[in-house]
Chains A and B, each alone.
Chain A
């Protein structure tokens, strides 16, 4: 009976009224083996959410890590479950820095639970480009890591700076806060806006932009948390002018 119930839950669709609703929570992630790619899942408030499948650093989705909790921020997508979980899209997954040894759930492959096919999508979780001279780089919570996509955007920004004969590049860093579904707020550590901005600025210099042509601004007051969209406040804006 339990197996039957579990099976039904695994395939039951997501009701349309749930679609678009925002979820933000910090939990231990889970990985489920499948016949193809492993799926990453997270359980929160009695429900299982599908985060993404194992991929490479060229993908938009950078998977969680067992041994660490993960901050999940995403919007519910209507339609069938994926790999047994409610899909979230877009979804931003941030690995929490400290180790949590209780995060070690590995689920075996199970008949009827399959990973979705791999689809290459734009790296919207990491970078947004608005014209050749304006890029916004997004960051994981409490993190200044430049993903492959973000570093690619910086290479392009420098190429545009050199080609266009622009005079300067402005770098503006921000830190954010996240309103969790529980009602609590997580705020990034103080000073992170400057750390992010200076890291980007140093990278631009390393890529060949004269130091004098790079200006750095840091907005260290966290953008107030409001739920949906909080993930996109953790950013650095790069403007070639």
Chain B
């Protein structure tokens, strides 16, 4: 068995090396397992092996040498880790297409052969997302936006900046895993966004509501729209994807599942009478669209591990803290402002309530505080170590202000507000899924948490959770096996 796992890992690593360079022509097997710092992740192709040669997800179909797989690597839970990015810089001398000037650098106007010009990608795994301002959907936004600090120079750049030719706000974000998407795409059971009292966006082709949970700012509602957007921006495609290419890309994305399957501490994560949520086969098997309940908790039951090895007991305790430990959730836009009260004495699972994914069943963009002053993850604005841009956002007098930050807000990423133009959305970022976390550090939309412990530390500080060192470690161990 160990030999078999070793072979799969070796094969997977070999395949990955090819895929990274977009030199495709191999078969991505039905199950491929990859090493990561915590253990092993398995990629499961539910529809069987995928021939990557000629496949538009794996081929550089744009103009800059990138393919979708460039930033959605099987070994990294279909996202891309900071370690993998740094390794690619070393291996390619910065020539890998992932470092394309358009968004793989801090600013396309900088000299692209220098490491410093790609520091946000290399340090934090962040890609530049340039969003037109004012947004196309809302020509009269509720706020004005000024660039306060621009470490990369891109937001004041005469070509790429806010007042430049592009008329764009550039923010820097982590890529999301393109896997387990039935859990991401399943819309809430009502056609409404129950948090905001408005209708969900619709799929323009089917007219049916979409989940609005796929992207950090929910700007694309369907895989097809996202693929077309990524083709034009990240891949710098010009001629457009054909219907056949779009169909191939979205079909692949819908059938791929990822999760950890082996952990250095917990060992085998699947099989036997272990937790029923672990491993990609269980993600394939379970139904999407299920809300957390006592009968079906978010990550099902870890009871079998409560009397197991010390590490597995720690994981089970972490799951228990996630589900049941109550603390005061305070000043979170689109959580405390939607009829739950501010503060609300709740547990993690009240917001991370979707079974198997840990996302929100309702559209999950919330202002947790990671990108907005004073709870943001960044050093002081004035600090010379600041890496991200800072914007001053001023809400118009007649607009509804941000519920907990008022009318003047300093932010490193206005999030959903860059799409809607609404003050209430400033800093609101869609929560991501919890699966394959061990394979895709760093965390948070801005890559500010290098480790799961740093992620847990942020929550502990943000909500004064008063977790003990052991409890933090329990949460880290729990998150790491997902």
Residues of A within 8 A of B (CB): 31, 33, 37-38, 40, 54, 56-57, 62-68, 97-99, 106, 145-148, 150-152, 155, 203, 206-207
Find residues 177-196 in chain B having any chain A CB closer than 8 Å to their own CB.
190-192, 194-196
- A146 lies within 8 A of B198 (CB): yes
User: Which residues of the partner chain B approach A67 to less than 8 Å between Cβ atoms?
Assistant: 331, 342, 403-404
User: Which residues of the partner chain B approach A97 to less than 8 Å between Cβ atoms?
Assistant: 400-401
17 additional A-B pairs beyond A62-B339, A99-B403, A203-B198, beta carbons within 8 Å, are A31-B341, A31-B343, A38-B341, A38-B344, A40-B341, A54-B345, A57-B195, A57-B339, A63-B342, A64-B341, A65-B341, A65-B403, A66-B342, A66-B343, A106-B328, A151-B197, A207-B191
Does B27 sit at the interface, judged by CB under 8 A? no
Nearest residue, chain A, Cβ from B362: A57
Q: How many B residues have CB within 8 A of the partner chain?
A: 28
Nearest residue, chain B, Cβ from A99: B406
CB proximity of B113 to chain A, nearest CB, Å: 48
User: Which residues of the partner chain A approach B406 to less than 8 Å between Cβ atoms?
Assistant: 98-99
Does B338 sit at the interface, judged by CB under 8 A? yes
Question: In the assembly, what is the distance between CA of A64 and CA of B336, in Å?
Answer: 9
Question: In the assembly, what is the distance between CA of A147 and CA of B196, in Å?
Answer: 8
User: Which residues of the partner chain A approach B198 to less than 8 Å between Cβ atoms?
Assistant: 146, 203
- B339 lies within 8 A of A63 (CB): yes
Given contacts A67-B404, A151-B190, A207-B191, contact A54 B344 (CB under 8 A): yes
Between-chain CB contacts (< 8 Å), 8 pairs: A38-B344, A54-B344, A62-B339, A63-B342, A66-B330, A68-B342, A99-B405, A155-B190
User: Which residues of the partner chain B approach A106 to less than 8 Å between Cβ atoms?
Assistant: 328, 343
Does B7 sit at the interface, judged by CB under 8 A? no
- B191 lies within 8 A of A155 (CB): yes
Nearest residue, chain B, Cβ from A101: B406
Question: In the assembly, what is the distance between CA of A56 and CA of B340, in Å?
Answer: 6
Question: In the assembly, what is the distance between CA of A54 and CA of B330, in Å?
Answer: 13
Q: Can you list, as one digit per residue, whether each of B281-312 has a CB less than 8 Å from chain A (1) or not (0)?
A: 00000000000000000000000000000000
User: Which residues of the partner chain A approach B194 to less than 8 Å between Cβ atoms?
Assistant: 57, 148, 151
CB proximity of A106 to chain B, nearest CB, Å: 7
Which 6 pairs show the lowest CB-CB distances between chains A and B?
Answer: A63-B341, A146-B197, A65-B342, A62-B339, A206-B199, A151-B192
Question: In the assembly, what is the distance between CA of A67 and CA of B400, in Å?
Answer: 15
Question: In the assembly, what is the distance between CA of A67 and CA of B406, in Å?
Answer: 10
CB proximity of A164 to chain B, nearest CB, Å: 20
Question: In the assembly, what is the distance between CA of A152 and CA of B191, in Å?
Answer: 10
Does B337 sit at the interface, judged by CB under 8 A? yes
Please indicate which of the listed interface residues A65, A97, A146 has the most CB atoms of chain B within 10 Å of its own CB. A65
User: Which residues of the partner chain B approach A206 to less than 8 Å between Cβ atoms?
Assistant: 191, 199
CB proximity of B408 to chain A, nearest CB, Å: 11
Question: In the assembly, what is the distance between CA of A151 and CA of B189, in Å?
Answer: 13
Question: In the assembly, what is the distance between CA of A38 and CA of B192, in Å?
Answer: 28
Question: In the assembly, what is the distance between CA of A155 and CA of B189, in Å?
Answer: 12
- B340 lies within 8 A of A99 (CB): no
Given contacts A67-B404, A151-B190, contact A145 B341 (CB under 8 A): no
Question: In the assembly, what is the distance between CA of A98 and CA of B336, in Å?
Answer: 15
CB proximity of B280 to chain A, nearest CB, Å: 32
- B345 lies within 8 A of A65 (CB): no
Please indicate which of the listed interface residues B192, B199, B338, B340 has the most CB atoms of chain A within 10 Å of its own CB. B192
- B197 lies within 8 A of A150 (CB): yes
CB proximity of A148 to chain B, nearest CB, Å: 5
- A99 lies within 8 A of B338 (CB): no
Nearest residue, chain A, Cβ from B399: A97
- B340 lies within 8 A of A54 (CB): yes
Question: In the assembly, what is the distance between CA of A207 and CA of B331, in Å?
Answer: 32
User: Which residues of the partner chain B approach A155 to less than 8 Å between Cβ atoms?
Assistant: 190-191
Nearest residue, chain A, Cβ from B207: A208
Given contacts A54-B345, A63-B341, A145-B197, contact A99 B404 (CB under 8 A): yes
Nearest residue, chain A, Cβ from B403: A65
Please indicate which of the listed interface residues A54, A67, A106, A148 has the most CB atoms of chain B within 10 Å of its own CB. A67
